[in-house]
Amino acid sequence: MEALLGKARNMCPYLHKTSPATLRSLSTSTSMQQSVSAGGSAMSNLQITARRCPVMGKALSVQGARSGNAALNGVFGGTRGYHAKVPRANLHTSSSKEAQAVERPAERRQQPAPYSRPAGNAATASAATGHALTGAPPPPNAARFDYEGFYGNELDKKHKDKSYRYFNNINRLAQEFPRAHMSGRDEKVDVWCSNDYLGMGRNPQVLKKMHETLDLYGSGAGGTRNISGHNQHAVGLENACAKLHAKEAALVFSSCYVANDATLATLGSKLPNCVILSDSMNHASMIQGIRHSGAKKVVFKHNDVVDLEDKLAALPSDVPKIIAFESVYSMCGSIGPIEEICDLAEKYGAITFLDEVHAVGMYGPNGAGVAEHLDYDVYANGGNTRGTVQDRIDIITGTLGKAYGCVGGYIAGSSKLVDTIRSLAPGFIFTTSLPPATMAGAQTAIEYQMAYQGDRRLQQLHTRAVKASLEERDIPVMPNPSHIIPVLVGNAEVAKKASDLLLEKHQIYVQAINYPTVPVGQERLRITPTPGHVKEFRAHLVQALDSVWNELGIKRTSDWAKEGGFIGVGEQNPTAVQPLWTDSQLGLDDVARELSSGDGAHGVLERVLDNEVRQTRQAVAAAA
């Protein structure tokens, strides 16, 4: 071999400049560009390079013509391969990593590509033209997916089961709360289903702060928290959230849906072999977060601590466990057994994840939620909060978009927990920060409600008054200890008709709630009184509901009782449900004495409400 190379190097300028080691490497390596030789084996890089030689190129062309090998003939066949411009080999550099379009040899085209036309058609076309098939294959004839048809079928299902959702054009009026107008400003309606529970969306202090911040800092944050979206407003709001719940730190998100999803997904995916135990009635944001985490999920019966303990006891003690649950379940108004769940978490080495979305601003002397409310006197009197129910909760999530009247969500917990979510959660890292005006307004709302209890007390009194009036009319209110008033209908189509009739005939907006928000057969109207729903609004609502129930023939409480009762409505010998806000906390200690005056419970409550309304208006005026 060495002797042959020595003679060839004297004759060939290329070989004369190339070392034996390089030639040996070329002869033993192949190219992806031309991979088939005359014998059907892979061509070496030396053979490919030789095609550019004036002597060897012609020799290879002759050999290729004899054997019918297009690869040896050159790209276009015959001696044309020699005359065509071919890039010179870069023997002493690394190969290019760029993608290259390469003409495949004829032998390699005999196998049809996936989704190509039948081989018979290609063979016929090739025979007719007398040339090998070249270029891209023709477009496939296979049937394509009908995307629009799929969308239509999914929507048809929603229409058929009466769960299709219609949005009403409701424009809440800040100066006429709780009034709103529809598409036309003269189409006024009373809103009875808003989650702006305390009317903070029109609070003078909040609006003033937002206007000032908007004028000074503009409409948007300018980016994510990592890129120009971190500012004094975010710092102040997070400090306020942490202080509200007496936690070390807090983190603000674009919504509490995102906060729940991002936090559970991050913890569930990072904690090794994590198991998340979830209440069966948890919000969709928590369910989605658990799903995104990839962690094992164990569902326990709603508010059933016995079932929860059974499931905890079945898990290894050294496995990380998260118990995810809510304080106020917004569609039925039930309250989670927070203290009992804390006991189980400590017993079985789990951490607690409490969603206080429908409770922040509404319960507790500072408005921190149900966990604070359970130790009302301790927090109201400035006592030692160590070991309280709220202190025992590991992670609290809340919203800025309901009782606080703004938008956004947050988590509160230990500094390390919050920093972990801040550093790892995509839902926080890659989302544009809330606008400065929004964060400033939310902070003002939190601080206002921490200092003033009048709004939530008045809301609770209005809730009691509405529940009492509906029960007098035999309208089926699902019993619960919270501020939610779910009115049972039990049929999706009828619930939609009731909602439409209230709006069209009585100018009252109450949204129908159906599947998947609630189970099929448990459809309802969800009513949420606010401090602004004074006596005139309440009287109008009760009269309208009574009329709609008569017109549509909807079951009343007595009708459900004849059937044995259903989800708390019409059940025999039910356990009395006591409101979470006690008479003492609402300042109703003297009500029992006043009842002897002959006015009755309703008359006494109305006098209390009138007094609360006056005090609230005075507080709002002073704040402005």
> What are 20-35's pLDDT values in tens digits?
667 677 777 765 444 4
Residue 553 lies in a domain: yes
Amino acid 54: pLDDT: 72
Average pLDDT, stretch 451-469?
95
> Which pairs count as long-range contacts for 144-150, CB under 8 Å and 24+ apart, including other chains?
none
Per mean pLDDT, which range of 85-94, 395-404, 585-594 is the poorest?
85-94
CB 50 within 8 A of CB 32: no
Please tell me what DSSP assigns to residue 396. Answer: E
Residue 500 lies in a domain: yes
Amino acid 608: pLDDT: 67
Q: Which of 507, 479, 432, 451 lies closest to 575 in space, CA to CA? A: 479
Per mean pLDDT, which range of 105-119, 198-212, 357-371 is the poorest?
105-119
Cα distance between residue 487 and residue 5, in whole Å = 97
- Domain count of the fold of the chain: 3
Domain final position from 39, 74, 91: 91
End-to-end CA, the chain: 100
Question: Is pLDDT of 118 > 80?
Answer: no
Amino acid 526: pLDDT: 98
Are both 228 and 339 inside the same structural domain?
Answer: yes
Cα distance between residue 463 and residue 363, in whole Å = 14
Q: Which of 328, 333, 390, 364 lies closest to 582 in space, CA to CA? A: 364
For the beta carbon of residue 99, count every other beta carbon within 10 angstroms. 6
Q: In what side-by-side order are the strands of the sheet with 508-509?
A: 171-172, 179-181, 188-191, 508-509
For the beta carbon of residue 422, count every other beta carbon within 10 angstroms. 17
Place of tokens 């699902």: 478
CB 238 within 8 A of CB 428: no
CB 199 within 8 A of CB 530: yes
Amino acid 26: pLDDT: 72
Are both 343 and 235 inside the same structural domain?
Answer: yes
CB 453 within 8 A of CB 365: yes
Amino acid 394: pLDDT: 98
Give the domain extent around 32. 27-91
Q: Which residue has the higher pLDDT, 618 or 388?
A: 388
pLDDT tens by residue, 124-162: 444 444 445 556 776 767 899 999 999 999 999 999 988
Are both 422 and 475 inside the same structural domain?
Answer: no
Residue 171 lies in a domain: no
Residue 235 lies in a domain: yes
Please tell me what DSSP assigns to residue 231. Answer: -
Cα distance between residue 71 and residue 30, in whole Å = 13
Residue 314 lies in a domain: yes
Cα distance between residue 144 and residue 141, in whole Å = 9
Q: Given CA atoms 38, 41, 46, 48 in this order, what sign does their dihedral have?
A: positive
Are both 271 and 410 inside the same structural domain?
Answer: yes
pLDDT tens by residue, 523-578: 999 999 999 999 999 999 999 999 999 999 999 999 999 999 999 999 998 888 99
Are both 473 and 603 inside the same structural domain?
Answer: yes
Q: Which of 162, 209, 311, 402 is catalytic?
A: 402
Amino acid 127: pLDDT: 47
Question: Is pLDDT of 82 > 50?
Answer: no
Question: Is pLDDT of 61 > 90?
Answer: no
Cα distance between residue 227 and residue 128, in whole Å = 64
Cα distance between residue 29 and residue 204, in whole Å = 80
Cα distance between residue 510 and residue 96, in whole Å = 67
Are both 86 and 221 inside the same structural domain?
Answer: no
Place of tokens 């005139």: 536
The 3-class secondary structure across 39-52, one letter per residue, is CCCCCEHHHHHHCC
Cα distance between residue 477 and residue 316, in whole Å = 43
Are both 245 and 393 inside the same structural domain?
Answer: yes
Q: Which of 550, 363, 403, 387 lies closest to 474 in space, CA to CA? A: 550
Residues 6+ apart with CB under 8 A from 347: 312
Predicted TM-score (pTM) of this structure: 0.76
CA distances from 153 to 157, 266, 329, 547 (A): 6, 35, 32, 37
Are both 515 and 432 inside the same structural domain?
Answer: no
Question: Is pLDDT of 381 > 70?
Answer: yes
**Sequence letter at residue 72:** L
Average pLDDT, stretch 226-242?
97
Verify whether residue 402 is a known catalytic residue: yes
Are both 430 and 547 inside the same structural domain?
Answer: no
Question: Is pLDDT of 74 > 70?
Answer: no
Average predicted confidence (pLDDT) for the chain: 85
Are both 366 and 492 inside the same structural domain?
Answer: no
Domain final position from 91, 106, 124: 91
Cα distance between residue 102 and residue 546, in whole Å = 79
Residue 388 lies in a domain: yes
**Sequence letter at residue 128:** A
Place of tokens 């708390």: 568
pLDDT tens by residue, 311-352: 999 999 999 999 999 999 999 999 999 999 999 999 999 999
> Quick one: pLDDT band at residue 108, thresholds 50, 70, 90?
very low
Domain final position from 75, 91, 107: 91
How many residues are given for the chain? 624
**Sequence letter at residue 565:** G
The 3-class secondary structure across 277-315, one letter per residue, is EEECCCCHHHHHHHHHHCCEEEEECCCCHHHHHHHHHCC
Cα distance between residue 441 and residue 243, in whole Å = 17
What tokens were used for 238? 């997070």
Cα distance between residue 350 and residue 317, in whole Å = 9
Are both 299 and 425 inside the same structural domain?
Answer: yes
Are both 374 and 405 inside the same structural domain?
Answer: yes
3-state secondary structure at position 543: helix
Residue 114 lies in a domain: no
Q: Which residues on adjacent β-strands are paired with residue 324? A: 278, 353
Report the CATH number at residue 288: 3.40.640.10
CB 180 within 8 A of CB 383: no
Residue 365 lies in a domain: yes
CB 254 within 8 A of CB 431: yes
Phi, psi of 191 (to 5 degrees): -95, 120
Average pLDDT, stretch 473-480?
97
CB 510 within 8 A of CB 525: yes
